[in-house]
Amino acid sequence: MKNVASSFKNRVLYIAVAYLLMGAACLGFWLSGGKYQSVAGGVLGACCMLFPLLATMVAQAVEHKPLLRDLGISWKINRWWFAGWLVVPFVVLLAALFTWVFAGSDFTLHTIAFQRLEEQMKMGPAAIVAVTAFSGMVAGITVNALVAFGEEVGWRGYLLRQFAGCGFLKTAVLTGIVWGLWHAPIILLGHNYPNHPVSGVFFMVVLCVLLSVIIQYFRIKSGSVLVAAVMHGTFNALAGMVLFFVENPNELLMGMEGAAGFLSMALVAVGLFLFDRYVTLDNIFTSPVLLQAPQND
């Protein structure tokens, strides 16, 4: 009972600090008259990704633990690193197909944004998509992963450790809800859902719950939170491509942040469940979370 109470207090402390930092930063930005759709807004978004790391530092200090101790930071590379990295473009591709279906006649190769890319890059549509996708994949394992580590060391590092022993799906859902609501202040400023900031908070929670299931699976299989950072970073790099060919898209219906993305993530999550149950026979989805050591393969 003492360990359970301690774990609960640790979770509350971590969440409270992460929420406080996010809320204070966004409130200060709003009071200063800042506009999220600007360079300043982009800087704010990048800085916010460091808040879970800072919350982790506070929580680790309270527990009298070294800063990065027992958070799953392992450089022992195995096949699950690559599997996690490569599953992201598959999710994005599925979301693009659903967006194409939902867009109907609004799907066009001549969107204003894409025409600007053609003028800047001096390439055809296929070449632009290929170059952008390649650049996103590279960014996902380098600079984007570095920035995303600020979040993942908290969500799939510290918080996952606090949920160790709980069921996989329970942990993924609770982490996803906490993660999604953590975004609420910046969503209200215009992040991801600039035309639907209030509804966007709910949609962001759904997105985070679904994505949490996928990322958590590879975090556990790989034995490293760095894989979660790579997946998060790659997701951020590629997500915008889904709307390349839709003029004035409905952000609640199309794109990775809308229903199209939710369908793609749900299908991949179901696929992982079936793979886990009938191929690897690990039954991770139906078992308590166990933070295993990295595998050798």
> For residue range 165-210, what is the model confidence (pLDDT) as tens digits?
899 999 999 999 999 999 999 999 999 999 999 999 999 999 999 9
User: Confidence class of residue 38 from pLDDT cuts 50, 70 and 90?
Assistant: very high
Phi/psi of residue 246, nearest 5 degrees = -125, 120
Radius of gyration of the chain (CA): 19
Report the pLDDT value the prediction gives residue 4, as an integer from 0 to 100. 58
User: Confidence class of residue 125 from pLDDT cuts 50, 70 and 90?
Assistant: confident
Report the pLDDT value the prediction gives residue 128, as an integer from 0 to 100. 84
- Rounded to two decimals, what is the model's pTM? 0.93
Report the pLDDT value the prediction gives residue 88, as an integer from 0 to 100. 98
Separation CA 208–CA 50 (nearest Å): 17
User: Is residue 110 predicted with pLDDT exceeding 80?
Assistant: no
% the chain with pLDDT above 90:
76
Q: 255 and 194 in contact (C-beta within 8 Å)?
A: no
More confident residue, 119 or 192: 192
Q: Give the pair of three-digit tokens for residue 206.
A: 């759904």
What pLDDT digit, counting tens, does each position of 55-91 carry? 999 999 999 888 888 899 999 999 999 999 999 999 9
Within 13 Å and on the Cβ side, how many CA atoms surround 84? 31
User: Is residue 297 predicted with pLDDT exceeding 60?
Assistant: no
User: Strand pairing partners for 246?
Assistant: 107
- At CA 266, angle to CA 141 and CA 104, rounded to 5? 95
- Over residues 23-48, the mean pLDDT reads 94
Report the pLDDT value the prediction gives residue 295, as an integer from 0 to 100. 52
Q: 245 and 118 in contact (C-beta within 8 Å)?
A: no
- Over residues 85-100, the mean pLDDT reads 96
Phi/psi of residue 67, nearest 5 degrees = -45, -55
Q: What is the mean pLDDT of the chain?
A: 91
Helices (H), 104-196: 112-121, 125-140, 143-152, 159-162, 168-182, 184-189
